[in-house]
Amino acid sequence: MSDACKESVTRQVVTEADAGQRIDNYLFSHLKGVPKSHVYRILRSGEVRVNSKRVDAAYRLVTGDILRLPPVRVAQKKEERRLPEFDMPILFEDDCLIAIDKPEGVAVHGGSGVSFGVIEQLRASRKDAKFLELVHRLDRDTSGVLLIAKKRSALVELHRQIREGGIEKFYFAVVAGKWQNRRQDVKLPLHKYLTESGERRVSVNPEGLPSRTVFSLMEQGDKASLLEADLKTGRTHQIRVHLAHLGFPILGDTKYGMDALNREISRAGYKRMYLHAARIKFKHPEGREIAIESRLPDTFYKLMEYMK
């Protein structure tokens, strides 16, 4: 791969979209192909300046800051990959946020063997957008409401609400077995670990992080039940592991579920994991309360009928 060398000092003005982030992270995203070690070197040497002054890597950008960037060698971009067209339903959109109705089987971002996801497709379809970042994540096989921030200020505010428990998330799941309680408050600590093959897993473990899910029975059958899960904490695989530990694994869950039953429903045409992010409630970055809903897919009701 050949290199192209910028011939002179450049100056950039920080916009609202970039305000609030560390300058090293800003440089990583704007100097594609430049090694991180080189970015830190030009920061330490003072070749990068903010408003004509030296800053360290932890400096947080402010709207209107004038950045001086030295000439750097940037690797030429490879031919741009062709991503699938973005055709996912949009449940809500304004100047701050987009809420996507994510289908099951689609990753929210690239990585771990997936070359692209929702966020890469959205960015490719909106090349003029200055800022698009995931507010939270959904497992690849989970469908439903996914929030994406269009401003850094919106992302920071929603992350604050997540940390402080200000965002309410409700899911629906079809589980194996006859669930008994109308409402069950589950408090089981969860611990993340890697298997010998390097696969990420989660288990109930006294040394794990506190985790709480409140389950409500929506429909009951002899072999399967439809539950609503009110997610009080947001641990990795929380709903899936809590239910599996209680003996009611989510149908179609290949990681924590029942293999024989999953094979049976797959042969009958039910080939997904039956977990759906149905509703999210939070305070909009501009101050008003907001709730966004995704309709439960018909296949959840059809699976309940099949299990009867």
DSSP letter string over the chain?
--EEE--S-EEEEPPTTTTTSBHHHHHHHHSTTS-HHHHHHHHHTT-SEETTEE--TTPBP-TT-EEEE---EEEPPPPPP-PPP--PPEEEE-SSEEEEEEPTT--SSSBTTBS--HHHHHHHH-TT-S--EESS---TT-EEEEEEESSHHHHHHHHHHHHTT--EEEEEEEEES----SEEEEE--EEEEE-TT--EEEEE-TTSB--EEEEEEEEE-SSEEEEEEEESS--TTHHHHHHHHHT-PBTT-TTTS-HHHHHHHHHTT--S--EEEEEEEEE-TTS-EEEEE-PPPHHHHHHHHHH-
Query: Catalytic residues, which ones?
Result: 139
